[in-house]
Every structure is written in structure tokens, then in C-alpha cells.
A and B are shown apart, each in its own frame.
Chain A
Amino acid sequence: QVTLKESGPVLVKPTETLTLTCTVSGFSFNNNRVGVSWIRQPPGKALEWLAHIYSFDEESYTTSLKSRLTISKDTSKSQVVLIMTNMDPVDTATYFCARITEGTSSHAFDIWGQGTMVTVSS
């Protein structure tokens, strides 16, 4: 069974750096055309795509937050990490990671983690 699980701090202070980890199980990044995105959702608001890392390790970021985001992958640990700098209360949201199989057999983001709620407050 393929699962993704997000982990990280529940509470961060303004200006701090947030580090979130997505741990995958049930599949390996090795020899699989699989990408992982980070997506967030402020309370009561819409989904916002943040960043993506492709199977070949290329990265893509949403333009509005590009200067604050870094996504990386540790294949040996089956983890994808998102770093967001200079946190602000408007960054309070549930953060999801989600998996996509790349190529013509893609079913879009068919596996999601359960999400982790991050509150930014002093």
C-alpha cells in the first residue's frame, strides 16, 4: 500500500524557517518515474500548489513564493523535504504532500498525505 506522511512543527514563530518532511512508503524513488509536490490550504481557503520535485530531480516552484522555498529529495530515506523561510502568519495552513506518476500513465496526484497543520504565531 502506497502512503505518504507529512511531519514537522505544529507551531512556528514569524520570521522562522519551516522544515516539513514527507515520508513515503509502499514505493521507491529508485527506478520509478514518480514526482512529489507540496500543496497547502489555509483554513477555509483553496488549495495552493507550492513546489514539485520530478523523478529526475528537477524542481519547480510557484512564482509568488519561489524565493522562500526549497524542495529536495532523499531517495535513501524515501523522503521529500520542503523548506520555507521567513514564515508569516498568512502561511498558517494545512500542508500536504502528494505523489504523481509521471508520463503517459499518469493519474495526476492520486496519493496524498493526510496533511499537517502549521500555525505561525508569536
Chain B
Amino acid sequence: DFQMTQSPSSLSAFVGDRVTITCRASQGFGNSLAWYQQKPGKVPKVLIYAASTLQSGVPSRFSGSGSGTDFTLTISSLQPEDVATYYCQKYDIGPLTFGGGTKVEIK
């Protein structure tokens, strides 16, 4: 079965810190990889698509990279409003699997 392994499952960092979340696919699939942000009680929101393209309106401190099997979401300077759970997802051809999520908190 195709799997997306996301790490870490949670992290705590200071405001202003650089934060990196990784997603590893069990099989390579190009760059149809998205990152979503979900705040408590809210609907997920796409931050990054095509592995590295910033969705309109998303702050530039968010960036994505990678292709094939290994992908990364980076927050260059963590802000209080970034407290959320982040998910990666493969979105080209089924299964359109999500990673297990990374909960980001402020120290």
C-alpha cells in the first residue's frame, strides 16, 4: 500500500525559529504534493501545491521543496498564528494519501 510518512508528529519551537517538516512517500510520484494547514476546529487550508508553489495569500515564510519521494515544508520564522497541524498529501493519481500530520506548538 502507498504510504506518506510525515515527521515529526509534533514539535515545539520558539517564535522566530526555523521549522522543518518532512514527508516521505513509499513510492516516487513526481511533484504533485501539497501541504495543508489545519487550525483547531477549522477546515484544512492549502499552503503549498506542486511541492513548492505557494498558494495565493499564504505568507512567504512558508516554503516547500522536494520531488519523487522526499518533500519538506519549511517555516522560516515561526509566528504565533502558525500554531496548527500540518499535513502533506499526494494529489495526482489515487490513492490521494495524507501524511499523519505534524502538530506545531510555540514554546
Interface residues of A (CB under 8 A from B): 37, 39, 46-49, 52, 60-64, 96, 98, 100, 106-110, 112-115
Nearest residue (CB) in A for B53 is: A107
The residue among A49, A52, A63, A96 with the most chain B CB atoms within 10 A of its own CB is A49
- Are B94 and A52 interface neighbours, CB within 8 A? yes
Note all chain A residues with C-beta closer than 8 A to B38: 47
Chain B: interface residue total (CB-CB under 8 A): 24
- Are A47 and B96 interface neighbours, CB within 8 A? no
Nearest residue (CB) in A for B94 is: A60
Q: What sequence of 0s and 1s flags, for each residue 17-58 of chain B, a beta carbon within 8 Å of any chain A beta carbon? A: 000000000000000101010100001111001100001000
Q: B91 is contacted by which of A62, A106, A112 (Cβ under 8 Å)? A: A106
Q: B55 is contacted by which of A47, A63, A110 (Cβ under 8 Å)? A: A110
- Are A112 and B95 interface neighbours, CB within 8 A? no
**B97 CB-CB contact with A under 8 Å:** yes
Q: A62 is contacted by which of B32, B95, B100 (Cβ under 8 Å)? A: B95
Note all chain A residues with C-beta closer than 8 A to B87: 46-47
Note all chain A residues with C-beta closer than 8 A to B85: 46
The answer for the CA separation of A2 and B50 in the assembled complex, in Å, is 22
Q: A47 is contacted by which of B93, B95, B98 (Cβ under 8 Å)? A: B98
**B63 CB-CB contact with A under 8 Å:** no
The answer for the CA separation of A37 and B32 in the assembled complex, in Å, is 16
Q: Could you tell me the distance in whole angstroms from the C-beta of B5 to the nearest C-beta in chain A? A: 12
Q: What sequence of 0s and 1s flags, for each residue 83-107 of chain B, a beta carbon within 8 Å of any chain A beta carbon? A: 0010101010111111011000000
The answer for the CA separation of A18 and B50 in the assembled complex, in Å, is 34
Nearest residue (CB) in B for A115 is: B43
Note all chain A residues with C-beta closer than 8 A to B96: 37, 49, 52, 60
- Are A112 and B43 interface neighbours, CB within 8 A? yes
Assess A48 versus B98: contact at CB under 8 Å? Given A106-B91, A112-B43, A112-B44: yes
**B81 CB-CB contact with A under 8 Å:** no
- Are A109 and B91 interface neighbours, CB within 8 A? yes
Note all chain B residues with C-beta closer than 8 A to A63: 1, 95
